[in-house]
Chains A and B, each alone.
Chain A
């Protein structure tokens, strides 16, 4: 009874245990001095703020301090990282599920912003925001506030089922197909079968099986020794047959020797094979 209760508690704890998805926003980069450090910090904060607005309760956005601590200090945090592999690498170092970074550059008189979001485990680029309409940092912050939710929200919040747009299938064109009147069209429905069977646990572990095979091999070899002894006895008997014994008697005794020899050999082969297989399984 106690076991059932404890199992129930264990499963309850598993049911309610949530594994959160973690996201780190890395410091924004300025290409060719498009923005100074102070403004870049402001931009990073704005990206973080905009992201907070779209994350579900199962997502966890790391604070700047947490990211710095995870990366082992400010030096690693502010390390210049423009290539995607470098961004993903920093995400790995921070042990997060998603990593994000903004980059600002100048395009004529405007500021161009690129914000990219990567899945760290695969290194896949999941979403990117590109805009070059902002004239200054304030317009850039507005762009971030306005466009980040629309660009990245779909990655974190799947749309509710009822809001999914109904897929309208085109009407089948039957004009060109002549269906004879007397043909009965059978209605069929598709049944999706689950072909993925859970891998069953073996009844006996390899170690146990190895021991059993080893033991079996041991028995075969010992039994082989017995047969060897019997064969020797038969051989002694054959050799001790007195002079004048009939040829058929000699043949019979020799056949006995051969029979025992064959039995012995089979048992040796079986024994050695089982023993070797047992050792193989053990390791």
Chain B
């Protein structure tokens, strides 16, 4: 009896990590397309614009575009990356394009660290930099944000949902199944 009780307690304790936390879409993301934005490539010079995402999605026949915002200090981001890396082929099969975007860190100081982190934990997913967090500002995240923040879009770049915090058991299926 006591074993059952403690097992139940144990499971209850960890049941909070079952699902990703969802956020309501800010009004900036409620239109037919997300607001314009751009992020920088690792050389601090080349840019990736919103329209580039659309072109890439069309070219690859993707059904979903996922923007995953992260930082080097974020432990949960690494865990999420590992799951993404493990499911890279499944994501491709399901037509999900993932872009990793480093937020709020100086590219000159953290560039190499970000590169190592992505290579080690996320593998070959493309990664970009948004040193001043402009894209999140444009998307309506004016207050302090929780990382990792994952923005799920359809192929026309219409925002479908926002996931925040540690990856739950529903990750990464949530990226192609829900919404």
Contact = CB atoms under 8 A, between A and B. Distances in A.
A279 B44 CA distance: 41
A95 B49 CA distance: 13
Interface residues of B, number: 27
Interface stretch (B62-70, B127-135, B167-175): B127-135
A225 B5 CA distance: 13
B42 interface: yes
Contacts of A214: 10
Interface string A55-84: 000001000000001101000000000000
Nearest to B13: A279
A273 interface: no
B45 to A, nearest CB: 5
Nearest to B37: A72
Nearest to B115: A14
B132 A19 contact: no
A191 B37 CA distance: 51
A19 B69 CA distance: 21
B45 A20 contact: yes
A93 B134 contact: yes
Interface string A266-283: 000000000000010010
Interface string B69-110: 000000100000000000000000000000000000011100
Interface string A12-30: 0010011111100000000
Contacts of B176: none
A245 to B, nearest CB: 33
B42 A19 contact: yes
Given A14-B112, A206-B75, A279-B13, A19 B134 contact: no
A20 B40 CA distance: 11
A35 interface: no
A39 interface: no
Given A22-B45, A93-B132, 19 more contacts: A14-B112, A17-B43, A18-B43, A19-B42, A19-B43, A19-B111, A20-B43, A20-B45, A21-B44, A22-B44, A60-B44, A69-B38, A69-B47, A95-B40, A97-B44, A121-B131, A206-B75, A218-B6, A221-B6
